[in-house]
Amino acid sequence: MQETWRWFGPNDGVTLAEARQAGATGIVTALHDIPYGAVWTEDAIRERQAAIGADPALELRWSVAESLPVHESIKIGEGDLEPLFETYRTSIRNLAACGVTTICYNFMPVLDWARTELHHRLANGGRALRFNAHEWAAFDVLMLERPGAEADYQPVVMERARAWFAASRPSDRDALLATVMAGLPGAFDRYDIVGLRGMLDRYRDVTPERLRQTLKRFLEAVIPTAEAVGLRMAIHPDDPPRPLLGLPRIVSSADDLAFITEAVDSPSNGITLCSGSLGSSVDNDVVGIARRFASRIHFAHLRNVRVEPDGSFMEADHLDGDTDMVALVEALLAEQGRRKAAGDPRWRLPMRPDHGHELLGDIGRTGHFPGYSATGRLKGLAELRGVMRAISRLRDLPL
């Protein structure tokens, strides 16, 4: 697999040289300065490519666009969407013209990934991202005051939520809101409580079935263009794969992925296999999902989580969570081998280590985005590389 590294552009505190030192050859990035619903121009794309290739000795290239955002109006299905569809199609054409031929995107309403702690202290002194079910319930029920929200949580979770809220200070609640918003690293919208209520109100009539249909409409509008220019679209699963704040989530299970891949049956309509997102639900067999949808996986985020009985979860070491990472890597390498044998010129699957712990010099270092530390991801990539090399040797599979 091609080893890649997410880079948030010139404002990222982790440098391209550090990405290369970690062993990556591909860069995963996006034009975060361009508002949602605006065109990614060829000039802007080439400017980012020039920044990635500024030091030829690093031999880095832009491998995957993550993410080309989907405008909220498309998800809601409100207004005349054709101009937004055409903007997205134009960006697809421009990326393909510049040689970037894989797009990772998501269809999560309002929020991207959701956590309640960004620097949870580990026993070894490192730091990790964590989702505490009771803190999320406190945010939803007691801070946001969403009508009917309490029914979404177990009584034991609500008991802990009320205890947390009673003991919290205004600064604790502000920090929790900031943490919830941190899941939108490239977004222009950062909501306060009032603003978030307004966004939720826009979704008040959006059921899971309606959201599925707006996704299908989006796919029907853009996949033919992607196929025509040889570009692969790879939808990212919901993180976590469950309804949040009363919002439907429709990329959470094997059934959801089946609906998506069948909605527009094209090799350009594919999946980002994020083992941590899917693995945050005990109902998902991540390795089984990888095997079932292998031919439609166009990108892989390899990370691991440990899930707790109340629905809380935490980022684990890459090889030490609930997902059998060795079996998962074996499934992905087997699919690579199939593609190579079939003569696919793009048989090598891009992957990246996702959501590394903060370790060593990461701790206290400023400038990196939550989950995207330097040393933690280097460690994860090194571990995954070792697994790939061993499986490749034992199974005679191409790297």
**Which residues are identified as catalytic?**
236, 274, 301, 354-355, 372
How far is residue 150's CA from residue 140's CA, in Å, rounded to a whole number? 8
Measured at the CA of 179, the angle between CA 173 and CA 182, to 5 degrees, comes to 145
Q: Minimal CA–CA distance to 239: which of 285, 282, 273, 276?
A: 276
Asked if residue 295 lies in contact with residue 285, where contact means CB atoms within 8 angstroms, the answer is no
Q: Are β-strands 304-307 and 313-316 bridged in parallel, bridged antiparallel, or unpaired?
A: antiparallel
The answer to whether residues 273 and 290 touch, using CB atoms and an 8 Å cutoff, is yes
Retrieve residue 296's tokens. 């439609």
User: What does the block give as tokens for 50?
Assistant: 């020039």
Q: Which of 51, 98, 387 is nearest to 231 (CA)?
A: 98
241, 278 contact by CB (below 8 A): yes
Q: How far apart are CA 279 and CA 325, in angstroms?
A: 11
